[in-house]
Amino acid sequence: MSTVPADLRYTKSHEWVRTLADGTVEVGITDHAQHALGDLVFVEVPEAGRTVKAGEPCAVVESVKAASDVYAPLAGEVTAGNPRLGEAPETVNTDAYGEGWLMRLRPAPGALTGAALMSAADYQKVLEAEGG
């Protein structure tokens, strides 16, 4: 059974979003997603300054088996990609909701309130419907 922290919000494509004190958001992939992918061996994160649209592929996580896109959960400007993941991609497996974050975004005006993000309870239902 995968972990779904109550204080985060989620997408159907298995990203999580954490609102930080300065108004930016941190984005990662869920415990369910890291488990389904298996051992990650390479992670490509976006560079600071890049503008992304909601639903745009903006990072790549690669397991031994395959490469998968990660989608921007909301529109905004990238303020940081997680620098640790270049050397230690497995951090996403071991700490998906913490040190394994992928990027930080400054939401475009209105993007955070307008984004189609789910509560932990609703994301849990998505996982149950997927059989996870």
Partner 1 sequence: MGRHTPLFKLHQELGARIVDFGGWDMPVQYSSQIGEHHAVRRAAGVFDVSHMCVVDLRGARVRALLQQLLANDVAKLKTPGKALYSCMLNERGGVIDDTIVYYLSDSWFRAVVNAGTRDKDLAWIRRHAPACGVEVTERTDLAMLAIQGPEGRAKAAQLLTAADAGAALALHTFVGREIGGWFVARTGYTGEDGFEIMMPAAEAVPAWRRLNSLGVASCGLGARDTLRLEAGMNLYGNDMDEGTQPFESGLGWTVAMEPHERAFIGREALAPIARGGSPRRLVGLVLTDRGVLRSHQRVVIPGGGEGEITSGTFSPTLERSIAFARVPADTGAAVQVDIRGKLLNARVVKPPFVRSGQSLIGSSKGPS
Binding positions for partner 1, rule: CB under 8 A:
38-39, 41-42, 44, 60, 62-67, 86
Burial class of residue 113, CB neighbours in 10 A (0-12, 13-18, 19+): exposed
Q: Of 62 and 95, which has the nearer Cβ to partner 1? A: 62
List the structure tokens of 124: 């849990």
Min separation Cβ 25 and partner 1, Å: 25
Closer to partner 1 by CB, 53 or 65: give it.
Answer: 65
Kindly provide the residue ranges of all beta strands, DSSP E only, lying in the chain, ordered along the sequence.
Answer: 9-10, 15-19, 25-29, 40-44, 51-52, 57-63, 67-71, 76-81, 103-107
Q: How far is the CB of 82 from partner 1 (least distance, A)?
A: 15
Q: Closer to partner 1 at the Cβ: 42 or 116?
A: 42
- What 8-state DSSP symbol labels residue 50? -
**What CA–CA distance (Å, rounded) separates 60 from 118?**
22
Name the residue nearer to partner 1 (CB basis): 24 or 68.
68
Closest contact distance (angstroms) between CB of 101 and partner 1 is 19
- Smallest gap from residue 129 Cβ to partner 1 (A): 19
